[in-house]
Structure 1
Amino acid sequence: MMKALIQMILHDKKDVLLAMTAGTISGLTAVALFAQSGFLISKAALMPPFYIILILTAFLKLFGVAKSASKYAERYISHRVTFRFISAVRMRFFKKLVPQTNLLYAYKSGDLLNRITSDVDLLQHFFLRVVYPPFIALFVFFATILFTLWFSPWLALILMMGFIFTSTVVPAILIYQKSNTTVPVKNAFTNEAAEYLYGYRDLQLHYQLATKEQSLQIISTDYSRLKKQELNREQSIHFWNQFISLLTAFFIVSVGAYFVSIGTLDGLYLAMLVLVALTVFESAIPLAMLPSHYKNAQEATARLDAIAPPASPTERMPLVSNKPLHITCENVSYTYQNTLHSAVLHVNCTIAAGEKVAIVGPSGSGKSTLFQLLIHEFKPISGEIFINEQPMRSIDEQELWAQMSIQLQHNHFFSGTLRENLLLAKPKATDEELQQVLDQVFITKSLTAIVYEKGGNLSGGEKQRLAFARVLLKNSDLWLLDEPFTSVDAQTEVHLFNTLLTKGKDKTIVLITHKLIDLAKMDRIFVMNNGTLAESGTFDQLLTQHGLFYTMYMQQIRCDKK
């Protein structure tokens, strides 16, 4: 990805060139400003004619204005390049991240959050602290050494040696110097903090809050210790960098004074050359931390690249939706990342257009995973799912989801009003339509009622009814619902189930449920067990087979009687 980062930076070639030009001018005018100051001080001591002082002062002001203007231009343009670059990095990462829903299961929330924020933001320093400084320092030092060479080759050599030490030797020592990175500890702290916040209530109820806090405190202390070591190391590097620059200036003063004493250097220029040496090293100061920033960028890109990009998309075809939708699964299998057991294994089935199918099975049987495959959130590891004879993986996802009304087990609700949360399903719906679906799902609140983020002020039953209202409102050709009524009372459940069948009588309906009593109203029932499609048939057929469905049904009846 480092090559890709360079390519993203060079995408703005014009601004990169302008930034480097402005930075070089800023560095050179800073050197010229101090050189002119040193020369003016020495010249003034000799009591020259007033017009000489006036001319030198004018040049001094000219260099000052040029330095300020070029510095402003350099900051403005270089930060513009940086903002465009970091925007490109974010877009590249999110384009890789968004299609991969399985990442929500493969990575901890804190880990993903850390990659999305810290790792991506860390790369914003790549241009300003890794790519940009070496070029500016090289140009400024090269020009300054050539200028010094005019007065004394030996002083130019001393300046060059100081540059080599600050730009090469000190960073090289930093590269080979072993140091404990704070990144793994920071990642661990982020993961633990996220779990602490998400699980705060459960930790409190099970008297584990203090234990978790102690664990967080230990990781926090380790992170603070390593961060302090890192900062001390950075200060040490800055110290040696400054020390070498001052030592170089000291040698220039000493050697320059010797040359003045023997008459090989005009004493008028000594102060100028000393100030040049002190000023030029300002452009070399960022080079001391360049290896550290480069290493951080490498680690960040490695963590971002660890999230494998999705497979190269094939050409997406439109969904042929001018006829009722039907689904076919051919030898479909799916295995979660980092697991050996297949959640869905060699499933073959067909759901005809307009058919009402219930998918049932014991907990962990794979029915919800099959549901995720049917809504194209997961992609089969092997096998194929067809919609109207079209492979699902080749259909444009937006077109596919436009034909689906989906209710998940856990649905998200945004901070806002009931109206705003319903309009997600049908943006152009009128208030009359919205109120109608609310009445159908027994929600008596007004459309302006406030909904907290994640439905924090809604009960479990209200969340499911609001999610079902979205299904009714969208009213697509294919309805897929995963345990839609588990949190409502029995009377409301019967009403909502009947509403589902009544409003969806012309629709293809796939229902995941553990309630078996009313499934006689469904056209067919699929029974999942250990990831396989163990049984399928009508309600009456499955009861007469005395198989798994019959066993589950009788157990549920006995439980209901108790």
Structure 2
Amino acid sequence: MKNLLALKPYFFRYKQMYLEGFFFIILTNIFGVIGPKFIGNAIDAMSRSFQLREIIFNVGLYVLFAALSGFFLFLVRQRVIVASRHIEFDLKNDYYNHLQKLPRRFYDHTGTGELISRGTNDLNAVREFLGPGVMYSFTTFFRLVFAIIAMVSLSPALTLFALLPAPVLSYSVYKIGRSMQKQSKSIQESYAGITNLVQENLSGIKIVKSYTREAAEIRRFETVNRQYYRKNLVLGKLQALFFAFLTTLSALSLIPVIWIGGINVMNGTMTVGDITQFIVYVSMLSWPIISIGWVTSIIQKAAASQARLTEILDAPTTISDENPLPDPAPRQTNFSGALSLHEISFHYPNQPDNEVLNNISLDILPGSKVAFVGATGSGKTTLVNLLPRLYDPTKGRVLLDGIDIRTLSLETLREEIGFVPQANFLFSDTIAHNIDYGNRNPEPEQIIEASRIAMLYDDVQDFPDKFDTMLGEKGINLSGGQKQRACIARALARKPEVLILDDALSAVDTATEARIFEAMLRSLPETTIILISHRISTVKNCDRIFVLDKGTIAESGTHEELITQESLYAELYNHQLLEDEILSLS
């Protein structure tokens, strides 16, 4: 239950609607409890001299109070259920907004399907608590209170016998409720696993089909789906046991009422109308007693779901404008693109003994073209990820024009940087919108210019709708090279001061790669370009080349300088020359 306390701010936000709903709950139950009194009066009227007018009058009043009870129940739903939908809307926005603020490292160990499951299935369970759960909890409470008051006014002794099952009921709610909460949490986790599996499988459907793994994936899905199915069956059995037990208790409570009430009627201490009225009140308690099980199930499920949502909502936004350095930098609009790294070290979370980068210091002049090369795992990608603050270094500082980038707002910093990561991604939108994705005020000329530099323009002209061509999921209707060039065009369209290309030309041939790089040099003379590539032919024209080895700068210099050193770079260069000769002979 303590997990649900996290919802207090949302309750207070819509407290007016909930207060009105509680008021209407009281009214609907007051009118609902008053009505049976007139049924008793009508029956007592039948036992005397038959007065049709009196009977019609009492029945009419019963119908009137029943109608008033129904009307205020309608108003209850208009307040409480509608308020729950408002909170659901706010929760979804807050959840999604928080996901946007979470750092890159959070997504390194959290599956997409898991996040989708929590934002849909878990959030819906919380919404059920905020609406039906709250409404029926208070309706049950007030129905019990008012009905018991009416029963005591008729016969305190008979009321005591009718409530004998209450202690057993309370204990059952406690014990079975705890079991249902544990099972609900396990079910939500299984559902998240299914969502994650389906999302991953559909994203990689080309690989599945290429390796004819359809049957294996079907079996894999069936295994996790069967686990989810079995857990739901266990919860269903618990709920069935709970409802059956509550219904049985409700029915058993009528036995002493009818027995002792009948004796009271024969003794003349109660009328037939009184005992009829009393039985109606006991019957009115049946639904509240049974609904206790249903409400308990909703609350336990919501508590488990809210705990899973809280795990995400409480995840720290370690890289955001909400936690800058103590002295933020003055707002600056003109940057030259000069970068400096001072004694940078970095390790990933939970791996403090594995330094990916170790005490790196280097300077990149504004407008220069530099490259990072090295073996796989040497730290190249990690290094460039520090520049737009996708990660923060565990030690050291990164400066842009002499300003610590942690003192800049993320918006200011990232507007100066165009970043093309290794894994290219395109949205299910038009080619034009994919290219101008990072621009606030995109112009058609910018899109065309960027596509020309990226050598994409001629390819786009071959499509029927040209730049208005809709792309499939992740740009499925483009080739690998076209996807990469579209991603490069997206970065170029921003006209950044710093352009980072992380192995962004690996899917194009060497000749096209050279043409793109030459176009960049010609079109972006003042832009600082940082290039990661495994091809020496791509990086040899850079102003400076840094060779990384096991997280450190092993060598640096121009292409000619590094060749003469006959070290790591020269070894890599000679190896690629040999490969080219072998390919030319084949």
So what's the TM-score if we normalise by structure 1? Answer: 0.92
- Provide the secondary structure at the position in 1 that maps to 2:493: helix
Q: Does 1:313 align with 2:313?
A: no
Equivalent pair of 1:405/1:474 in contact (CA under 8 Å): yes
- Taking the aligned partners of 2:384 and 2:47, their CA distance within structure 1 comes to 89
- Provide the secondary structure at the position in 2 that maps to 1:182: helix
Q: 1:443 aligns with which of 443, 457, 465?
A: 457
Between stretches 290-299 and 343-352, larger displacement belongs to 290-299
- Taking the aligned partners of 1:42 and 1:542, their CA distance within structure 2 comes to 110
For 1:52, the equivalent position in structure 2 comes to: 54
Between stretches 254-263 and 431-440, larger displacement belongs to 431-440
Q: 1:145 aligns with which of 137, 144, 148?
A: 148
For 1:187, the equivalent position in structure 2 comes to: 192
Between stretches 115-124 and 66-75, larger displacement belongs to 115-124
Q: 2:229 aligns with which of 224, 228, 253?
A: 224
Distance apart, 1:429 and its partner CA = 3.6
- Taking the aligned partners of 2:323 and 2:113, their CA distance within structure 1 comes to 29
For 2:68, the equivalent position in structure 1 comes to: 66
Report the residue type matching 1:335 in the other structure: H
For 2:25, the equivalent position in structure 1 comes to: 23
Change (3 A) 1:461 1:561: same
RMSD over aligned Cα, in angstroms? 2.6
For 1:533, the equivalent position in structure 2 comes to: 553
Q: 1:413 aligns with which of 426, 432, 452?
A: 426
Report the residue type matching 2:149 in the other structure: L
Change (3 A) 1:191 1:414: closer
- 1:521-551 Cα shifts (integer Å, max 9, x gaps): 3221122222222222222332222222221
Q: Does 1:249 align with 2:251?
A: no
Equivalent pair of 1:145/1:159 in contact (CA under 8 Å): no
For 1:205, the equivalent position in structure 2 comes to: 210
Q: Counterparts of 1:152-167 in structure 2 under 5 Å?
A: 152-163=155-166, 165-166=168-169
Equivalent pair of 1:328/1:350 in contact (CA under 8 Å): yes
- Taking the aligned partners of 1:44 and 1:355, their CA distance within structure 2 comes to 103
Change (3 A) 1:500 1:34: farther
- 1:447-501 Cα shifts (integer Å, max 9, x gaps): 2222222111000111111122223321122212212211112222111010111
Q: Does 1:236 align with 2:241?
A: yes
Between stretches 473-482 and 319-328, larger displacement belongs to 319-328
For 1:285, the equivalent position in structure 2 comes to: 290
For 1:336, the equivalent position in structure 2 comes to: 348
Equivalent pair of 1:35/1:276 in contact (CA under 8 Å): no
Change (3 A) 1:516 1:299: same
The sequence identity of aligned pairs, in percent, is 22
Count of paired positions:
561
- Taking the aligned partners of 1:47 and 1:242, their CA distance within structure 2 comes to 39
Q: 2:500 aligns with which of 459, 480, 483?
A: 480
For 1:107, the equivalent position in structure 2 comes to: 110
- Taking the aligned partners of 1:265 and 1:148, their CA distance within structure 2 comes to 12
Change (3 A) 1:84 1:382: farther
- Taking the aligned partners of 2:47 and 2:167, their CA distance within structure 1 comes to 35
Change (3 A) 1:466 1:258: same
Change (3 A) 1:269 1:197: same
Change (3 A) 1:389 1:518: same
Q: 1:214 aligns with which of 211, 214, 219?
A: 219
Between stretches 483-492 and 54-63, larger displacement belongs to 54-63
Q: Counterparts of 1:258-269 in structure 2 under 5 Å?
A: 258-269=263-274
Unaligned runs of at least 5 residues, structure 2? 461-465
Change (3 A) 1:74 1:163: farther
Q: Does 1:543 align with 2:566?
A: no
Report the residue type matching 1:485 in the other structure: L
- Taking the aligned partners of 1:22 and 1:421, their CA distance within structure 2 comes to 52
- Provide the secondary structure at the position in 1 that maps to 2:150: helix
- 1:140-159 Cα shifts (integer Å, max 9, x gaps): 22222222211111123234
Equivalent pair of 2:339/2:398 in contact (CA under 8 Å): yes
Q: Does 1:376 align with 2:360?
A: no
- Provide the secondary structure at the position in 2 that maps to 1:124: helix
Q: Counterparts of 1:443-462 in structure 2 under 5 Å?
A: 443-444=457-458, 445=460, 446-462=466-482
Change (3 A) 1:433 1:220: closer
- 1:380-426 Cα shifts (integer Å, max 9, x gaps): 23322222233222321112112222222223222232222223243
Change (3 A) 1:6 1:427: closer
- Taking the aligned partners of 1:466 and 1:389, their CA distance within structure 2 comes to 32
Unaligned runs of at least 5 residues, structure 1? none
Report the residue type matching 2:508 in the other structure: V
Change (3 A) 1:134 1:328: same
Equivalent pair of 1:241/1:285 in contact (CA under 8 Å): yes
Report the residue type matching 1:157 in the other structure: L
Equivalent pair of 1:414/1:451 in contact (CA under 8 Å): yes
Distance apart, 1:338 and its partner CA = 4.4
Equivalent pair of 1:35/1:275 in contact (CA under 8 Å): no
Equivalent pair of 2:187/2:228 in contact (CA under 8 Å): yes
- 1:313-341 Cα shifts (integer Å, max 9, x gaps): 23765652334132222232333344452
Report the residue type matching 1:416 in the other structure: D
Change (3 A) 1:36 1:385: farther
Q: Does 1:496 align with 2:516?
A: yes
Q: 1:401 aligns with which of 381, 396, 414?
A: 414
Distance apart, 1:353 and its partner CA = 1.9
Equivalent pair of 2:178/2:300 in contact (CA under 8 Å): no
- Taking the aligned partners of 1:33 and 1:533, their CA distance within structure 2 comes to 86
Distance apart, 1:41 and its partner CA = 4.2
- Taking the aligned partners of 2:343 and 2:289, their CA distance within structure 1 comes to 64
Distance apart, 1:518 and its partner CA = 4.0
Distance apart, 1:274 and its partner CA = 0.6
Between stretches 338-347 and 356-365, larger displacement belongs to 338-347
Report the residue type matching 1:295 in the other structure: Q
Distance apart, 1:355 and its partner CA = 2.0
For 1:324, the equivalent position in structure 2 comes to: 336
- Taking the aligned partners of 1:349 and 1:306, their CA distance within structure 2 comes to 39
Equivalent pair of 1:97/1:309 in contact (CA under 8 Å): no
- Provide the secondary structure at the position in 2 that maps to 1:309: coil
- Taking the aligned partners of 1:295 and 1:379, their CA distance within structure 2 comes to 39
Equivalent pair of 2:162/2:256 in contact (CA under 8 Å): no
- Taking the aligned partners of 2:36 and 2:396, their CA distance within structure 1 comes to 74
Equivalent pair of 2:39/2:273 in contact (CA under 8 Å): no
- Provide the secondary structure at the position in 2 that maps to 1:522: coil
Between stretches 52-61 and 372-381, larger displacement belongs to 52-61
Equivalent pair of 2:43/2:273 in contact (CA under 8 Å): no
For 2:463, the equivalent position in structure 1 comes to: none
Distance apart, 1:207 and its partner CA = 4.2
Change (3 A) 1:211 1:425: closer
Between stretches 494-503 and 465-474, larger displacement belongs to 465-474
- Taking the aligned partners of 2:17 and 2:258, their CA distance within structure 1 comes to 39
